[in-house]
Chains A and B, each alone.
Chain A
Amino acid sequence: EVQLVECGGGLVQPGRSLRLSCTASGFTFGDFAMSWVRQAPGKGLEWVGFIRSKAYGGTTEYAASVKGRFTISRDDSESIAYLQMNSLKTEDTAVYYCTRDTYGGIFDHWGQGTLVTVSS
């Protein structure tokens, strides 16, 4: 069974940093791209970014709203994807979901999400 478990969320002040982790199990992690999607309270889904598998260069793409502040990385030996968030803003407050990204951008499995609150 595919499982994705996020951790690392919490309350952080504007301008500070936070790193989220997504631990995967139930599939060959290194064969898949991984995406992060967020959802602000009471709002819709917003794609944050993704990291390709090593077979496709392990490169990353980001939404314009987070480019230059957020970085996605992966540790295939541990089956973990990371979302490093720097220079956080109040508008980054959201539940952050880790997703398995398959067939070039279909999110077929989602984690339970972790809440990030950016507030002074």
Chain B
Amino acid sequence: QSVLTQPASVSGAPGQRVTISCTGSSSNIGAGYDVHWYQQLPGTAPKLLIYRDIIRPSGVPDRFSGSKSDASASLAITGLQAMDEADYYCQSYDSSLRDVVFGGGTKVTVL
């Protein structure tokens, strides 16, 4: 059981908007620690997608956006494309565990 909870899967048709939630607690996201998001395409290494809650690294399309409220964060993908089929992970820090924590990952399927 991951400290950060993500849905196992989400799906959407091309062009649609999907969101992935990342639910934490008062010792991690709720304590104000940054949330970061990674995309892992099949058979490849993870790639930083969103950092410090809302910032996109250079080269990441603006179809990807992050948000945070209280002890939860979300990743939104608008204008869903076939190339977006991947696993997505949120990451933060937990002060009680003194541990970097990842969500369990969400598989995005484009219908």
Q: Do A and B come from one complex?
A: no
Binding site for B on A (CB under 8 A): none
Binding site for A on B (CB under 8 A): none
